[in-house]
Amino acid sequence: MANDSNCEYDDPPSPEKTKEPVSPLKLKPLHANGWLHDMKLSSPTAALVSNGSSGSFDPTYRAWTVSLMPHRILVVAVLIFVRGGTTVHLLLSLQKKYPSALSAFDQIVVCGKGKKMALFLDYDGTLSPIVDEPDNAVMSDQMREVVRNAALHLPTAIVSGRSRDKVFDFVKLTELYYAGSHGMDIMGPVGEHDSVTEHRRSINSSKNQGKEVKIFQAATEFLPMIDEVFRLLIDKTKAINGVKVENNRFCVSVHYRNVEEKDWQLVAECTDDVLKVYPRLRLTHGRRVVLEVRPVIDWNKGKAVEFLLDSLELANCKNVLPIYIGDDLTDEDAFKVLRDDKRGFGILVSSVPKESHALYSLMDPSEVGLMTYSATVPCYGLLEETSDVEGGRSIT
């Protein structure tokens, strides 16, 4: 691509200039006197999807990726029927503050001219729907092919709160980079370089998932503690109907989506009781009905994005366009990193208004698929037939 366009992301190419949130967005530690209030605030208002389908879309319909109006009209009509007329106001509020990335796609393409794109994707709620049972959050075959195609054209990473192995089991693509446990466990294929930058905490080389990989782990010393807390939490919450405790290797998730609301405070109190004797662990929550037990270290999804860009030798590259797509509060750290750096931007996946550091929005995983496909089809999106952008580059 010719480098004939400059784009400042503090004044993005959108119908209306996006404003910074009044107060910084961050994961807030939960406090005993506000358990129920915090948990209700983190409970999503969007309708749940109870099966493993992430929605169907046909990538051949280019018109959908440009105007999006037929798809959005249908979605709005369904939501109005299910949830009432206030949905129209909510969707208009969302689009006013965070314009649709699909509606603004041509403008994004202009900003991407002459730049190498790097794509970062959350998993739950972004590539797959939010479901009642976390183990059923599978991605569709269509979405898998779209992500695979993206990885063949450009560096593509999935950054998730799930364990790295669990995300790989869902996605089943060896072409990607995987950053599990909120970025504390990063895997990428080995290439021509055989070491990481010296200031990184630790690196292990192993053979895993069918090929040799490089693994960066930010909190290895916490693993025995996390395993111990996981077992204690299972025992402590076993009498609460509907609770699910998930070991995500470097963090523990306590899901209360299927717990009756009257028992939410009990879930929080049981979790807090276990953590009282573990000062090196902290308890936080995102936008979903889940409590997260994490190490007290300065590491998050934003740090993971910075690490990957550095490892891909793109951190100091002025002609790079990093894009991060996610739906959870934990993704805000990545949105903020890209926004502050003024080189890339975040895309919030949501059908309801939320405060965010993202510049654009998409409504659901189906739109994520459409956006990802459009961005990686040479004649439509951010790549041209002669593009020299390479996917599958290794962590260095």
**Do 113 and 5 contact (CB within 8 A), yes or no?**
yes
| Paired residues of 326 in beta bridges | 348
Name 139's Cβ contacts closer than 8 Å, sequence gap at least 6.
Answer: 54, 123, 127, 128, 147, 170, 171, 365
Which residue reads 């509060």 in tokens? 329
Q: Rounded distance, CA 389 to CA 326, Å?
A: 23
Q: Pick the catalytic residue: 10, 38, 58, 122?
A: 122
The tokens describing 245, both together, are: 């405790």
Does the active-site annotation cover 185?
A: no
Distances (CA, A) of 210 to 146, 214, 393: 21, 13, 17
SS (H, E, C) the chain: CCCCCCCCCCCCCCCCCCCCCCCCCCCCCCCHHHHHHHHHHHCCCCCCCCCCCCCCCCCCCHHHHHCCHHHHHHHHHHHHHHHCCHHHHHHHHHHHHCCECCCCHHHHHHHHCCCEEEEEECCECCCECCCCCHHHCCCCHHHHHHHHHHHHHCCEEEECCCCHHHHHHHHCCCCCEEEEHHHCEEEEECCCCCCCCCCCCCEEEEEECCEEEEEEECCHHHHHHHHHHHHHHHHHHCCCCCCEEEECCCCEEEECCCCCHHHHHHHHHHHHHHHCCCCCEEEEECCCCEEEEEECCCCCHHHHHHHHHHHCCCCCCCCEEEEEEECCHHHHHHHHHHHHHCCCEEEEECCCCCCCCCCEEECCHHHHHHHHHHHHCCCCCCCCCCCCCCCCCCCC
Any idea which residues carry the catalytic annotation? 122
